[in-house]
Amino acid sequence: MIKLNYRKTDSAIIGADNGLNLEEEFTNYQEAITNIITSLNQRKDKPGQNLQWMNLGYNEETVWYVKEFASMVRNRFDNILVLGIGGSALGGIAVTEALLKPYWNLLTNEQRNNFPRIFFLDNIDPDSMNGLFDVIDLKKTLVNVITKSGDTAETMAQFMVIRDKMKKELGDDYRKHIVATTDKKMGILKQLANQDGYKTFFIPDDISGRFSVFSAVGLVPFALVGLDIDKIINGIKDMDLALKNTDIHQNIAAQGALIHYLMDKKLGKKISVMMPYSSRLKYVSDWFVQLWAESLGKEYNNNDEKINTGLTPIKALGATDQHSQVQLFNEGPNDKLITFIRVENFDTTLEIPKEFEYTGIGYLGGKTINELLNAEADSTKVSLVDYSRPSLTISLEKIDEYNIAQLLYMLEVQTAIIGELYNINTFNHPSVEQAKNYTYALMGRAGYEGSAEALREKLATI
């Protein structure tokens, strides 16, 4: 199981001005944490609670259908092209970047074991979209269009462009090159899928995009590129069981949530840095940023009181950011809680040759890149303690399906628990909806004419 070390947030290590008396706080909050964990587990099956993501470790039917589809299309495509944005893309990017061999798309077919290359289009930049058409052959591409609402402008615009190109290149056969992942009942993508006859996977009700990585949203692309989705499911399941434990001393998601919450409430630390020491985990930070920002950035609490709460997430990468952001983390405002992710065993070992023995870099010879990276992680931790800066460390024994699933699921539960501590709705995102509606209005969608006029007037004055 993955582990959390929270000692470097304790006042005994970093002093009372910036640290917490953890034993006391754990005792004070034990009852609240017990109630939150019990309540989340009791509410998870109730419609409208947005907690269905807590059941994704037990969704055997979807896993079976996804595996069946992946084996049916095995060897038929050179490329998978995923269209989606926000929660419909970031989990897929984080997991494939972590688990596929580095530089996957540049490897030969043989090196990829004949699994396809994978591309994610999670923005609507005309240059990068046109550029992509220069490097992939649509005739050999399977497009997975993912949108829970079924009508997000960015995703549907991408889809319209690509569908049109595919129709021109493939004729009627284009339909066999499209897989839709969307809501069961609502949305335009669902209607199009029915009408055009695309293979379709459904996202269960009551799952916000940022909590959907282990639904068909992620499982379909993961299976298509050969990741072991059974191991992913086992990782979620085992972590889910571990996180049902209401004893805060045994529950790492509750520990992470409470420490972040108290660092904000008691010590004014409103910035959360996610800093893996592994290039393969770089995009876990992007995924975490959305999870944390959209879930916790709220204007009102559940009692309708205006609170404007939220913890600002920052992504960083070790060791790269030791030469960029760590100066600020050490010496700038003491307003951050840093979470390191440490990998104990990398897939490979890379030795540094014993050369330049009588020079200032001779000490590196005979060591490994692995040792160097983890020594850098340790030195950053120690220097943060020197400056009385709090940090948490999540340790993974290695990067594989089982551990990555545990990591992401643990961070989801941590987010749900801290949302309860703040007494907010963790799962809505009214501002995202507002921006979507403004876009619809400005782009002339029927039904939005009134707000389009008001928007144009406002735009002229700002």
412 is a contact residue toward ligand PA5 (CB under 6 A)? no
Residue 246 CA to residue 278 CA, distance in Å, equals 31
* Residue keyed to tokens 């569908």: 163
How near is the Cβ of 207 to ligand PA5 at its closest, in Å?
A: 9
Token readout for 11 is: 């006042």
Please choose, out of 37-45, 57-65, 83-91, 192-200, the segment that lies near ligand PA5 by the rule CB under 6 A: 83-91
Closer of 148 and 177 to ligand PA5 (Cβ): 148
* Interface of this chain with ligand PA5, residues 85 to 114, rule: CB under 6 A: 85-88
How near is the Cβ of 425 to ligand PA5 at its closest, in Å?
A: 13
How near is the Cβ of 84 to ligand PA5 at its closest, in Å?
A: 6
144 is a contact residue toward ligand PA5 (CB under 6 A)? no
Please choose, out of 66-74, 96-104, 147-155, 401-409, the segment that lies near ligand PA5 by the rule CB under 6 A: 147-155
Closer of 81 and 258 to ligand PA5 (Cβ): 81
Closer of 210 and 269 to ligand PA5 (Cβ): 210
Active centre residues (catalytic): 294, 323, 436
Closer of 160 and 375 to ligand PA5 (Cβ): 160
Q: How far is CA 4 from CA 192, 423, 432, 443, in A?
A: 45, 25, 32, 47
* Interface of this chain with ligand PA5, residues 172 to 201, rule: CB under 6 A: none
Closer of 155 and 309 to ligand PA5 (Cβ): 155
* Interface of this chain with ligand PA5, residues 340 to 369, rule: CB under 6 A: none
Radius of gyration for the chain, computed over Cα atoms and rounded to the nearest angstrom? 23
Task: Tell me if 229 sits within 8 A of 68, measured CB to CB.
Answer: no
Residues near 115 by beta carbon (within 8 Å), at least 6 away in sequence: 224, 225, 226
Residue 447 CA to residue 236 CA, distance in Å, equals 42
Describe the strand order of the beta sheet including 199-203 as a list of residue ranges. Answer: 117-121, 79-83, 141-147, 178-183, 199-203
Instruction: Look at phi and psi of residue 66 and say left if phi exceeds 0, alpha if psi is from -120 to 50, else beta.
Output: alpha
Interface pick for ligand PA5 out of 163, 177, 199, 210 (rule CB under 6 A): 210
Q: Give the residue ranges of DSSP H helices in 297-335.
A: 326-331
Task: Tell me if 88 sits within 8 A of 189, measured CB to CB.
Answer: no
Closest CA to 410 of 286, 265, 239: 239
Closer of 151 and 400 to ligand PA5 (Cβ): 151
* Interface of this chain with ligand PA5, residues 418 to 447, rule: CB under 6 A: 429, 432
Interface pick for ligand PA5 out of 52, 62, 144, 152 (rule CB under 6 A): 152
Interface pick for ligand PA5 out of 240, 264, 294, 412 (rule CB under 6 A): 294
Amino acid in the structure at residue 110: E
Within 105-248, strands assigned E span: 117-121, 141-147, 178-183, 199-203
Largest CA distance in the chain: 76
11 is a contact residue toward ligand PA5 (CB under 6 A)? no
Residues near 160 by beta carbon (within 8 Å), at least 6 away in sequence: none
286 is a contact residue toward ligand PA5 (CB under 6 A)? no
How near is the Cβ of 148 to ligand PA5 at its closest, in Å?
A: 4
Binding site for ligand PA5 (CB under 6 A): 85-88, 147-149, 152, 155, 208-210, 294, 429, 432
